[in-house]
Structure 1
């Protein structure tokens, strides 16, 4: 009840407080700008999607370039104005990726977002392993569907495998930063990897 971001989310019509994490990341690094194509993985209930539609102008409410936002989640969730919502769909499945490619009409995305987390067991080591596994799934997806020079934002919980994940990101991206936005709760071990400058996949 004392969380200022919960109240702020209500005031600004965001579906949950996590919207402010992405807003704070963007404020510092300007990863979302009008005209970009964004894919939000594990998007429900849709607060990151709301931020992405506003910042890319995919709802065409402002003058200037109009972006595209695609939001995917296993759960069904309410539409977000300016986004193509793919509810009841698992982004790791080939069929979902084929659907996305059709919607993208052969184009690729500028930014992949993943605020996904597994259901917490309360056992830190298990939870860390599970979220790292999800992070690799998001990375694998991003490698297939991101434009060269594109960006990936992915959440993890801190633990022993984070450093190796960062090393693997550096194989594919020019620059990787570890970010803990101000809106992250003090007791949380979560952090975000911001990987920029996708190098593309070299075909031998």
Structure 2
């Protein structure tokens, strides 16, 4: 949840630790929900690229715990390649979001019913080369979108992290074929110096005559072939016809009275400087393997 001094000066970093969130990104989903009411009428949720689990915590508190007394409480499935510590009311799957078996495992958890809401806060390890980072992030979004189109109900909502760049409107235009509304949102808890924002896609509308099917042998381009959301053939020449490009509405999320992630605040006089316990125990600490080797007497200093 941030190791640099910049992160520790951030008020959202401290508030996340005080309130028990695993990462400051929890505030981003909370502010997105305040703006768009994402959780209204939601019963089945999938959190993709979920580790360390801050968004799953928000879903657990805002959906599962509040619906626990109802006949059908919300079902939440979190998916990530990395291990995650357990969260109340959340089923954790350590799996690849591009694998067909992952889709089947999620649908099994929902009893074969489609999801109401799919979200993804995943991002690659940034290189600092903005064009490359934007491309990799766009590919990650398309991978999440593949899984989403296979399990999201008509009228459902999809939210994912994006890196804004000069060609981001091409992604907007593709998403507009699949959703009624596509909005680019920037929560106040997201630093203004960061390229990140969140694409909020509301009102899923399956493409007529197109049946999305996950297959390991299919690339992302081949998956969307036949959906009519963009060009899926190799061009034999470089003369490209003009296409209608979409510019998504940009919305700043979070009340103006909420904290600014780029600002510095003076501590209250009654503020107690106390050391806070870790929010979660390490899921796969690097020293775990070393301890196992030591117990077996196999650790030898070279």
Q: TM-score when scaled to structure 2? A: 0.64
CA contact (8 A) 1:151 1:197 kept: yes
The residue correspondences of 1:104-183 to structure 2 (distance < 5 A) are 104-183=110-189
Rg larger for: 2
Q: 1:61 to 1:9 in 2, by over 3 A?
A: farther
User: For 1:99-149, what per-residue CA distance to the aligned partner results, in whole angstroms no more than 9, with x for missing partners?
Assistant: 112222110100000111011111111111000000111111111110110
Work out the CA distance in 1 between the residues paired with 2:174 and 2:109: 29
Greater helix content: 1
Give the structure 2 partner of residue 45 of structure 1: 52
Partner SS for 1:32:
coil
Work out the CA distance in 2 between the residues paired with 1:72 and 1:155: 16
Work out the CA distance in 1 between the residues paired with 2:206 and 2:63: 23
The Cα shift of 1:200 comes to 2.0
CA contact (8 A) 1:155 1:191 kept: yes
Give the structure 2 partner of residue 31 of structure 1: 38
Task: Kindly report the root-mean-square deviation, in angstroms, between the aligned alpha carbons of the 2 structures.
Answer: 1.6
Q: TM-score when scaled to structure 1? A: 0.94
Higher mean displacement: 28-37 or 194-203 = 28-37
Does the alignment pair 1:11 with 2:12?
Answer: no
Match of 2:62 among 55, 58, 68: 55
CA contact (8 A) 1:34 1:56 kept: no
CA contact (8 A) 1:40 1:49 kept: yes
Q: Number of residues paired by the alignment? A: 203
Q: 1:195 to 1:169 in 2, by over 3 A?
A: same
Question: Which runs of no fewer than 5 residues in structure 2 stay unpaired?
Answer: 1-7, 211-302
Work out the CA distance in 1 between the residues paired with 2:73 and 2:41: 6
Greater strand content: 1
The Cα shift of 1:150 comes to 0.0
Partner SS for 1:136:
helix
Match of 2:206 among 197, 200, 204: 200
